Amino acid sequence: MNEHFDNNRKLWNALTAVNARSAMYDLEGFKRGACTLDPIEVAELGDVRGKSILHLQCHFGQDTMSLARRGARVTGVDFSDEAIALAKSLASELEIPAEFICCNIYDLPQHLEKRFDMVFTSAGVLCWINDLAAWAQLIDRYLKLDGTFYIREFHPITGVFDITNPKELSAHWPYFHSAEPQVWEESGAYSDHDAKLDCKSCEWQHPLSDVVNALLSVDLKLEFLHEFPYCSYDCFPFLEKGGDGRWRFPGGKELIPLMYSIKATKD
Ligand SMILES: C[S@@+](CC[C@H](N)C(=O)[O-])C[C@H]1O[C@@H](n2cnc3c(N)ncnc32)[C@H](O)[C@@H]1O
């Protein structure tokens, strides 16, 4: 497992610099005060003022610090040392109160004791996680009673299709989980199609039922599960960007879900 995590850490260290200068992450806009949270998250999280929030897999912290700008007390965790170094330097430059911890999320109990009002995670996180049962136990470990867990994630059905097919969806990869990850050679970046990388990624597929059942298995109470027919990025080459910045199937067809969100509470 360590070898897989090492590959992924190297990839995310390489991606941090690429992402930080990409139009997709718009770091200058963020520095000027833009909120990087997805509009779905803003609507579904509600008022976070005064809440303590643990952000799992926070990358270089733009969403973590956007939560802080909305009044939350935030702690971000990520295993990419490049990403956490950048997050810390941004927090200091922008004078945003935020704590950042560099570790594998599974090792977090060695670094962090306290519990939180909310555990938040979003946008491309679960494919890097091999063990959803341990992930759910971690969430449970860090939530106070009545605390809330929230995730917005790319829908696992999007992982089934051959994205090199420029015209249509053709099912190619398994929807269901297997213990061995899919290993990819990564020569480019999702945020910048011209960037050159020489890394490997090790990714695990998790069907939606596994995500929900992992949360139920630690006795979290499901508040909602929402599915969305659009995506926050061009997850297929033939999607079209609308005026609202959302990527949809041609003609606005609502063919399959491209993202989902879950809110659950610790009773
Ligand atoms: C797609 S990013 C997170 C999404 C974030 N909203 C963003 O800014 O794009 C995925 C993050 O997960 C982190 N990550 C992957 N596996 C991890 C692990 N086992 N423990 C901690 N962080 C991990 C990566 O370093 C990366 O920063």
Q: What is the pTM assigned to this prediction?
A: 0.97
Q: Which of 30, 125, 204 to mutate to test the pocket of ligand 1 (most atoms within 8 A of CB)?
A: 125
Closest atom of ligand 1 to CA, residue 63: 6
Per-residue model confidence (pLDDT) at position 170: 87
Per-residue model confidence (pLDDT) at position 94: 98
Tell me the H-state helices in the chain.
Answer: 2-20, 27-31, 39-45, 62-69, 81-94, 132-142, 208-217
Helical (H) or strand (E) element with 106:
none
The long-range contacts involving 210-218, CB below 8 angstroms and separated by at least 24 positions, are 210/132, 210/177, 211/126, 211/132, 211/151, 211/153, 211/156, 211/262, 212/262, 214/132, 214/133, 214/135, 214/136, 215/136, 215/139, 215/149, 215/262, 215/264, 217/133, 217/136, 218/136, 218/137, 218/139, 218/140
Q: Measuring from atom 19 of ligand 1, which residue has the nearest CA?
A: 104
Per-residue model confidence (pLDDT) at position 110: 97
Per-residue model confidence (pLDDT) at position 163: 80
Amino acid identity, position 186: E
Look up residue 245 and give its two tokens.
Answer: 């910045």
Q: Are 119 and 56 in contact (CB under 8 A)?
A: yes
Question: Measured in angstroms, how far is the CA atom of residue 33 from the centroid of ligand 1?
Answer: 23
Residue in the block written with tokens 């806009």: 29
Per-residue model confidence (pLDDT) at position 168: 77
How many Cβ atoms sit within 10 Å of the Cβ of residue 237?
Answer: 10
Closest listed residue to residue 232, CA positions, set 33, 66, 58, 38: 38
Look up residue 103 and give its two tokens.
Answer: 């570790």
Cβ < 6 A, ligand 1 pocket = 5, 8, 12, 57, 59, 63, 78-80, 83, 104-105, 122-125, 128
Per-residue model confidence (pLDDT) at position 68: 98
**Alpha carbon 118 to chain centroid, angstroms:** 15
Question: Measured in angstroms, how far is the CA atom of residue 250 from the centroid of ligand 1?
Answer: 30
Question: Measured in angstroms, how far is the CA atom of residue 14 from the centroid of ligand 1?
Answer: 12
Q: How far apart are the first and last CA of the chain?
A: 33
Burial class (CB in 10 A: 0-12, 13-18, 19+), 102: middle
**Residue ranges of domains in the chain, CATH in brackets:** 2-155+205-230+258-266 (3.40.50.150)
Distance CA 225, CA 237 (A): 27
For each of the chain's 267 residues, which pLDDT tens digit applies? 799 999 999 999 999 999 999 999 999 999 999 999 999 999 999 999 999 999 999 999 999 999 999 999 999 999 999 999 999 999 999 999 999 999 999 999 999 999 999 999 999 999 999 999 999 999 999 999 999 999 999 999 999 998 877 677 889 999 999 999 999 998 888 888 888 999 999 999 999 999 999 999 998 999 999 999 999 998 988 899 999 999 999 999 999 999 999 999 998
Distance CA 127, CA 130 (A): 8
Summarised one tens digit per residue, pLDDT across range 167-223 is 778 899 999 999 999 999 988 888 888 889 999 999 999 999 999 999 999 989 999
Per-residue model confidence (pLDDT) at position 192: 87
Look up residue 99 and give its two tokens.
Answer: 């704590």
Residues 6+ apart with CB under 8 A from 110: 103
Q: Measuring from atom 7 of ligand 1, which residue has the nearest CA?
A: 59
